[in-house]
A and B are shown apart, each in its own frame.
Chain A
Amino acid sequence: AQKITQTQPGMFVQEKEAVTLDCTYDTSDQSYGLFWYKQPSSGEMIFLIYQGSYDEQNATEGRYSLNFQKARKSANLVISASQLGDSAMYFCAMRDFNTGTASKLTFGTGTRLQVTL
């Protein structure tokens, strides 16, 4: 069974600083995808970044980058130059790519990020 672990229930970061949100995962599958979603206080789920298990380079999307360490089974999200609008819940999620089975997104428990002045 897949499992996603986010060990930081809450994080603080000063505006304009970088912050790393931790995510470790457990799977016996060789082919899978890792996702990060942001949930602001308004409640919607916003896709941030994706990393495939066979991607050789770490994914980047603007100020977001994913520090993917396959051997350690970690997929940490790095947010550079934090902004007040980055204050939100952040969820790490994993999807297996087994053929012949229904594929679902399994979420971690989330990290609440607060950006301060």
Chain B
Amino acid sequence: DTAVSQTPKYLVTQMGNDKSIKCEQNLGHDTMYWYKQDSKKFLKIMFSYNNKELIINETVPNRFSPKSPDKAHLNLHINSLELGDSAVYFCASSPDRGREKLFFGSGTQLSVL
């Protein structure tokens, strides 16, 4: 069983479209995250939710909106996609806010044409 699963693995779309990436974890963790990895492989946090509550919201355009229907799911919706949104988006989870390692999903490669 995959611990943190995100879909789709690849997403190719045109500029201006709206798209969503879904993430689910079956580890019983309280905290989930979205990270963005750019073309230079740099990983940066975007959002974090703890028990459906938004706890981290980095400087991200408001075209990006996370939604957590329950603590096992954290979806990422992106409006009006731009070329610069092309990246790999990783979902992750951890047991609590602090000390534990993050478990990552396999990533979603988003290409905006």
Bound CA span A39–B37, Å: 12
The stretch of B13-21, B39-47, B59-67 in contact with A is B39-47
* Cβ–Cβ contact B99 & A97, under 8 A: yes
Of A43, A91, A103, the contact of B106 (CB 8 Å cutoff): A43
Bound CA span A91–B103, Å: 14
Contacts of B97 in A (CB 8 A): 102-103
Binding site for B on A (CB under 8 A): 33, 35, 37, 39, 43-45, 47, 50, 52, 89, 91, 95, 97, 99, 102-107, 109-110
Main secondary structure of the interface of A (DSSP, over half): strand
Query: Count of chain B residues with Cβ under 8 Å from any Cβ of A?
Result: 24
Bound CA span A110–B40, Å: 9
Within 8 A of A (CB), among B72-98: 88, 90, 92, 97-98
Contacts of B92 in A (CB 8 A): 45
* Cβ–Cβ contact A52 & B99, under 8 A: yes
* Cβ–Cβ contact A107 & B106, under 8 A: no
Bound CA span A93–B1, Å: 27
Of A44, A47, A95, the contact of B98 (CB 8 Å cutoff): A95
Which of B43, B90, B99, B107 is most buried by chain A, counting CB atoms within 10 A of its CB?
B43
